Structure 1
């Protein structure tokens, strides 16, 4: 099941508390996961030492498009998406943390063997 939560006062914590799963995937609006993402996430969360993870930017397409996608993913913490445990997300939902971008900022992540098409905006 997927729920869309809009940023706002308390929305992030409310969304994390409402989650029924032990793991969350947080994406920017317009981001698209490429084929194979589910298997990569399942493999990752099955590991006993699994921590936060992100997806890889595209490796195919026009050179300019790949360059632009990499530039975007460097500027925004959530541009590569975020796979995070519910427990870890709740710990990060302190005062002043109101968006998915706030949640993703400053977290050490592993890179999954799956790709994401970040929104170009």
Structure 2
């Protein structure tokens, strides 16, 4: 089972898009919990998280939160990103046979224009990061962000797609 971690600040609309995409995983029994790590939001993020049944934590210590995750695997994802059809099966298969971190493929249909992709710095979480909980605990440092937890890992690329949050920001 997976614990999904989403870090946000004043991103209520983007968070709603991501939570809607995760419903299928919860229905299929893959997603055990969704944890929202809030970094000082002043919009309706807390209300949305509560209505969706998420665990909502304001400025938590990353090491403690990762250690308390219910799932044996963690999915780190940006608010606004949404995995596309088939992600539940691909992640389930990967978790059954592999012990290494993985990321989804960027969607070919929904992507930024070439020059916008080329000129910007890629976020470590842009294509999601699926990692074993034990690896996350070993890499987690107090006070750090999910971005730092997902950066610098050797990862396999799963054969399922994700629409990056940056695509939502442009629309």
Structure 2 residue aligned with 1:26: 76
Change in CA separation of 1:71 and 1:55 when aligned onto 2, cut-off 3 Å: farther
**CA distance in structure 1 between the aligned counterparts of 2:156 and 2:86, rounded to whole angstroms:** 17
Report how many aligned residue pairs link the two structures.
116
Q: TM-score, normalised by structure 2?
A: 0.60
**1:94-118 deviation digits (Å, cap 9, x = unpaired):** 356x111100110010000111111
Q: What is the RMSD computed on CA atoms of the aligned residues?
A: 2.4
Q: TM-score, normalised by structure 1?
A: 0.82
The within-5 A match list for 1:1-121 is: 1-7=33-39, 8=59, 10=61, 12-47=62-97, 49-61=98-110, 65=112, 67=114, 70-71=117-118, 75-95=122-142, 98-120=144-166, 121=169
Check conservation: 1:58, 1:116, Cα contact below 8 A. yes
**1:70-98 deviation digits (Å, cap 9, x = unpaired):** 548962111111000100000001356x1
Check conservation: 1:73, 1:79, Cα contact below 8 A. no
Query: Please, which runs of 5 or more residues in structure 2 have no aligned partner?
Result: 1-32, 40-58
Question: Rg larger in 1 or in 2?
Answer: 2
Query: Please, which runs of 5 or more residues in structure 1 have no aligned partner?
Result: none
